[in-house]
Amino acid sequence: MSFEILVIGGGPAGLSAALNAHARGRSALVVSNPPEENPLWKAGRVDNYPGLPGISGRAMLSAMRRQAEEAGVEFVTGRVLSALPMMGSWFVSVGQEMYNARAVVLATGVARGKKFPGEAEFLGRGVSYCATCDGMLYRDRPVAVVGFSDSARREADFLRSIGCAVTYFDRPKRCVIQGGQTVESITCDGQSAAVDAVFLLRPTMAPTDLFQGLAAENGYVTVDRRMSTNLPGLFAAGDCTGGPLQVAKAVGEGLIAGQSAAAFLTAAEQKQA
């Protein structure tokens, strides 16, 4: 499916970006985890957002999303697994689906945690980030699911439904993946399992893993005042660009990113005319 602007992340920054892009006549798609998995959803009280003292994070996020939906912004629930530039567009895989857009706004929040030992080495050789994508390759075989969100349990249930013997690790602090040519075992927080595959189901991937060549410093995406990254057609906003990690800053950056993405498309169209 094609959209003019694709926004990765359904928090305040992403919703602000989508609203502002749509207000400038651009079709926008937001790809995100379920709203209840957003850290803001769990905040019982937000006191530092101007004009709305004491509002709960759940109420704030719900209102922002409702406004975007009513404006015509489209939504897809899922995790982005990869993004590739091709012929003036970005091709973004979400689970088993592929979307393309002429501009992308990255609003993923903070991707916490480093790669586990063995994760990069065995990627594609037993390590996967999507159970519904790669699960059939391991049908009726022992696998591990390392889950960091409630939706990860649903992917584990899918694996069980196709005959996999699933060992589930719930939000472990440390894991080590081992094997020879392919994955053979995993140990998380002292518990080990012999498996043929490991599904690492984090809420979000690090931006530099999604976008090859993306400039970052100390784990945060590098942007200019227009929220442009070093990659053409890619903008970023919110917590992924650094502190302060607050809603007001995320909304403001999202506004700029959405406007800048729309302006980027206009400039490209004028050049082609």
What pLDDT, in 10s, does the model give residues 44-71?
999 989 999 999 999 999 999 999 999 9
Q: What is the pLDDT of residue 264?
A: 98
Note whether 167 and 142 are within 8 A (CB). Answer: yes
Whole-angstrom Cα distance, residue 224 to residue 99?
26
Q: Locate the DSSP E strands across 153-248.
A: 165-170, 175-179, 183-188, 191-194, 197-201, 216-217, 220-221, 234-236
Is the predicted pLDDT of residue 224 greater than 70, yes or no?
Answer: yes
Q: pLDDT class for 25, splitting at 50, 70, 90?
A: very high
Evaluate if residue 225 carries a pLDDT over 90.
Answer: yes
Sketch out the chain's domains with CATH numbers.
2-111+205-272 (3.50.50.60), 127-201 (3.50.50.60)
What length is written for the chain?
A: 273
For residues 240-260, give the mean pLDDT: 97
Q: Report percent pLDDT > 90 for the chain.
A: 90
Single-letter amino acid, residue 224: D
Task: Return the percentage of the chain with pLDDT > 70, whole number.
Answer: 99
- φ, ψ (nearest 5 deg) of residue 49: -100, 120
SS3 173: coil
CA distance 235 to 240: 11
pLDDT bracket for residue 204 (50, 70, 90): confident
Q: For position 113, what pLDDT does the model report?
A: 67
Tokens of 238: 């919110």
Distance CA 215, CA 235 (A): 12
Q: What is d(CA 67, CA 82) in angstroms, rounded to the nearest whole number?
A: 28
119-131 residue pLDDT tens: 999 999 999 999 9
- Find how far residue 143's CA is from the centre of its chain: 24
Name 148's Cβ contacts closer than 8 Å, sequence gap at least 6: 171, 201, 202, 203
Calculate mean pLDDT across residues 10-34: 97
**C-beta neighbour count of 225 within 10 angstroms:** 7
Task: Give the C-alpha separation, 215 to 239, whole Å.
Answer: 16
Please determine, for residue 237, whether its predicted confidence score (pLDDT) is greater than 70: yes
Tell how far CA 150 is from the center of its chain.
Answer: 15
- 176 pLDDT band, cuts 50/70/90, is very high
State the average pLDDT for the chain: 95
The pTM of this model reads 0.90
Tens digits of residue pLDDT in 68-84: 999 999 999 999 999 99
CA separation (Å) from 8 to 5, 88, 141?
10, 18, 33
Residue 194: both structure tokens together = 């012999």
CB of 157 closer than 8 Å to CB of 143: no
